[in-house]
Structure 1
Amino acid sequence: MASHGLVHTYELSIPILMTIWLLEFSVTAAVLGLVVTVGYALFGVGALPGGVLVDRYGSRLLIVGCLFGMGTSFLLLSISPHILLVTVALGVWGIAASVYHPAGLALISNGVRRDVRGTAFAYHGMAGNVGIAFGPLVTALLLLVFDWRIVVVVLAVPALIVAVVGTVTEFDETANVDAGDGNGESGIHSLSEFVRESRRIFTIGFTLVFLVVISNGLYYRGTLTFLPEILDDFLVVLLGEVRFGIFDPESPFADEFDVAQYVYVGLLTVGIVGQYVGGKLTDRIPPERGIAVMLATLAVIGVLFVPAAQVGLATLALVSILLGFALFAMQPLTQATIAKYSRANSRGLSFGYTYLSIFGIGALGAAIVGVGLTYASVFAVFLVLAGIALCGSMLAVTLVARGRGTE
């Protein structure tokens, strides 16, 4: 949980730090955008090789390495005299952070009893939401008091502490692995073995899960990337140019934390409750059935979001709460389904593929929404997202109809 929260804290502190780096290193937004893209791209692409390493060396080693790597990357940022070293530091962060999701989720899948695994996924996801919602806020508040170089050192410390704790803590990361499933170690040592193991993973059931995850990733990334701007447009119409930030009006951060940002953080905070409920549902019903219902709910929300937002503040708040709840309730359900339709000794590779799809293919959701907002309308964008969610729900229904997974 601590590691998951830290991964997303660092991920979303970078955009806040970018406002400082633009001035500090006298670069254009285009150059800085390319620099940050290096780190984010490695964060997504590295999930697949990270999954291979998890199956070979175990989750503990990879998670501890992830934490040390992220902490070291932020220490490297603190001494960066030039934008080139910033690029290197963010690259180190991306490589280190990329292994977390396959390692952490494989650890839960293989180390937690099946009757409470959904709850474990829920708590794990809730911690991630804490990092997503409050990581940027904490970073911005620290920047009001300290120089950015001191701030990144402060941010690095928790990762290094948790890494040490993870090194000395005793636990059995394969406690839930049956003898017939192997010992959790993969035999992947070459490209041909990687291809062979990948073919074994992609059964009909796992392929359906993979497509469902892509649908969820497109909806998730497409919605959250532009939602602050979309909310701001609705709130300007409803409230006018109201800004009640927590910062001094002259602060460069005042405009960043306007009403829309508060609503957005509130939506992400509601996601903590969604994670918990989704995890509890996973312990009580087949997770693929929960996915089908939740994606259908997201489709309905996609159709109703714009009309509800145009009615007034109360309906905008209500539909935002429902969106935040359903969007993040999906995560433990999805993770449990991936675990159900994968074998214990290839869980790392299985989660590597699925998180490559979420952060890689799912990133196309931002492009879809961006094109829609440029050439169509907000309502058209949400209709497209609703269609994507509906397709995912139908795939999940097919999964339910086919029967049980590999466990």
Structure 2
Amino acid sequence: MHYAGGNLGTVLVPLVGALLLGAFGWRTTLASFGLPAIVIGLLVLVGITEERGGQATLEARPSLGRETLEILRNRNLRFIVGAQATAAGGRGLGVVITFVPLYLSQELGLGVMKMGALYTLMLIGSVVGPTLAGFVSDRLRARKPVLLGAYLASTLTMVLLVNLGTAGAWLLPLVVFILGCVAYAESPMLQSLTADATEGSSQDVVFGLYHTIGFGTGALWAIVMGTLVEALGFRPALYVMAASYSAAALWLLPLRMPSGAVAPDMPRATERAR
């Protein structure tokens, strides 16, 4: 739900922003988006309390460097980070929402209205996908199979998108919606796996490292994809995106979670992901 809520904002902002721009201009529009963020930030600051162990707990913790090295010795975490860095080729830092719309408009020649409608469908999928993935993983009591399925479905959907062409344009709405569902189901599931794999470690350091690697590799992949599109065209670049999902799935095959890592209601990872 955490990721789905963020993606819901991504769907609503262009629609609300267009209405505000037309009615009030860009200054008022920027203020309208900025002020709620400040209010919510203050509510989080005041309304959420953190457990603090006191000075003795702080002194007992190892240094940041040593703690980071200890976390990196975790075999499962290394596989998870490898999957995260690899899958960033198909999802990281706006790769999907940048290059898929460009492919639709420049390669398939779709007009602005059609491309905008398909783009919105993909964003709606990014809300539905994480929600369904969390529900299914709770029912199955296992995240790894759901995540592997999402990776493989992302590969197949991207390949289908590339091969539809203009002749299969009537299928594009369904395909881009499914792509949004499966591609964006990855992040919350992978973060939950990270929480399970690092039970007992400092979650601040774990997720600081996790997001640093994720955003860093995502930025590099965006450069790589842009270079591929410039040199070879959209189709080879999208095939590389499709391959990145399958390659990420390979990282997770040797993953072995502790037997007690996932309880029937999965409370631990859910609480940490909040």
TM-score (norm. length: structure 1)? 0.57
Query: Partners of 1:156 and 1:382 in 2: how far apart?
Result: 35
Query: Partners of 1:405 and 1:389 in 2: how far apart?
Result: 27
Give the partner amino acid of 1:404: P
CA contact (8 A) 2:196 2:257 kept: no
- 2:67 paired with 1:197: yes
Note the C-alpha offset of 1:394. 0.9
Distance of aligned partners of 1:353 and 1:136 in 2 relative to their CA distance in 1, 3 Å threshold: farther
Note the C-alpha offset of 1:340. 0.7
Runs of 4+ in structure 1 off by over 4 angstroms are 171-174, 182-190
Where does residue 121 of structure 2 map in the other structure?
266
CA contact (8 A) 1:298 1:389 kept: yes
Note the C-alpha offset of 1:259. 2.3
Higher relative contact order (CA 8 A, sep 6+): 2
Where does residue 265 of structure 2 map in the other structure?
none
Query: Partners of 1:264 and 1:184 in 2: how far apart?
Result: 49
Where does residue 4 of structure 2 map in the other structure?
126
- 2:130 paired with 1:229: no
Note the C-alpha offset of 1:172. 6.5
Where does residue 227 of structure 2 map in the other structure?
371
CA contact (8 A) 1:129 1:272 kept: yes
Where does residue 166 of structure 1 map in the other structure?
44
Note the C-alpha offset of 1:140. 3.0
Give the partner amino acid of 2:21: L
Query: Partners of 1:183 and 1:189 in 2: how far apart?
Result: 10
Distance of aligned partners of 1:403 and 1:150 in 2 relative to their CA distance in 1, 3 Å threshold: closer
Query: Partners of 2:155 and 2:22 in 1: how far apart?
Result: 40
- Tell me the secondary structure at the aligned position of residue 258 of structure 2: coil
- Tell me the secondary structure at the aligned position of residue 404 of structure 1: coil
- Tell me the secondary structure at the aligned position of residue 311 of structure 1: coil
CA contact (8 A) 1:201 1:350 kept: yes
Distance of aligned partners of 1:406 and 1:367 in 2 relative to their CA distance in 1, 3 Å threshold: farther
Query: Partners of 1:309 and 1:388 in 2: how far apart?
Result: 22
- Tell me the secondary structure at the aligned position of residue 371 of structure 1: helix
CA contact (8 A) 1:278 1:331 kept: no
TM-score (norm. length: structure 2)? 0.82
- 2:209 paired with 1:331: no
Give the partner amino acid of 2:88: G
Distance of aligned partners of 1:231 and 1:285 in 2 relative to their CA distance in 1, 3 Å threshold: farther
Distance of aligned partners of 1:189 and 1:173 in 2 relative to their CA distance in 1, 3 Å threshold: closer
CA contact (8 A) 1:225 1:366 kept: no
Where does residue 266 of structure 2 map in the other structure?
none
Q: Percent identity?
A: 24
Query: Partners of 1:358 and 1:152 in 2: how far apart?
Result: 28
Give the partner amino acid of 1:126: A
Distance of aligned partners of 1:281 and 1:143 in 2 relative to their CA distance in 1, 3 Å threshold: same
Note the C-alpha offset of 1:205. 0.8
Query: Partners of 1:398 and 1:184 in 2: how far apart?
Result: 39
Alignment length, in residue pairs? 256
Query: Considering only aligned residues, what root-mean-square deviation do their CA atoms show, in Å?
Result: 2.8
Note the C-alpha offset of 1:365. 2.1
- In structure 2, runs of 5+ residues without a counterpart are 262-274
- Encode CA deviations 1:367-389: one digit per residue, 9 max, x unaligned: 22212211113221122122211
Query: Partners of 1:150 and 1:377 in 2: how far apart?
Result: 40
Give the partner amino acid of 2:69: R
Of 268, 275, 281 in structure 1, the residue corresponding to residue 130 of structure 2 is 275
- Tell me the secondary structure at the aligned position of residue 254 of structure 2: helix
Of 28, 32, 43 in structure 2, the residue corresponding to residue 150 of structure 1 is 28
Distance of aligned partners of 1:138 and 1:344 in 2 relative to their CA distance in 1, 3 Å threshold: farther
